[in-house]
Amino acid sequence: MVAAPDSEYVASEEVQLCRLDEVVDDFSGIGFLKIDTQGFEFEVLEGEKNLSRWDFILLEASLVDCYDGAVGYLKICDYLFGRGFVLVDVDPVFRSRDSVLLQADFLFRRV
């Protein structure tokens, strides 16, 4: 991993996956979705077939390869832009020892 070259996996765990729209019932009001799934954010977005229910989406994304197989922030941005969202804020989350931005929280708003 670029961000922490001395790191190593200490364990893995299998978890059952389900689509977001299978566990979220219809609701009224402001819909705010927070996604922080350590490199699996794009798959969570793809699993939500009704993105229009969300007014805001806040997610953490990597600007460099931090997780094996993770989709980069540009693809996530393009995906959400194509579904009626705009980027309204970026908050730096994680930097390398030499101050390179590695991960950030991205806040999107549906227009």
pTM, two decimal places: 0.82
* Per-residue confidence (pLDDT) for residue 53, from 0 to 100: 87
What is the spatial distance between Cα 84 and Cα 86, in angstroms, rounded to a whole number? 7
For residue 12, the one-letter residue type is S
What is the spatial distance between Cα 14 and Cα 55, in angstroms, rounded to a whole number? 31
* Per-residue confidence (pLDDT) for residue 1, from 0 to 100: 54
* Per-residue confidence (pLDDT) for residue 80, from 0 to 100: 97
The one-digit pLDDT tens for each residue of the chain (111 residues) are: 555 667 677 888 888 888 777 777 666 566 899 998 888 899 999 988 888 889 999 999 988 877 777 788 999 999 999 999 999 999 998 888 888 888 999 999 999
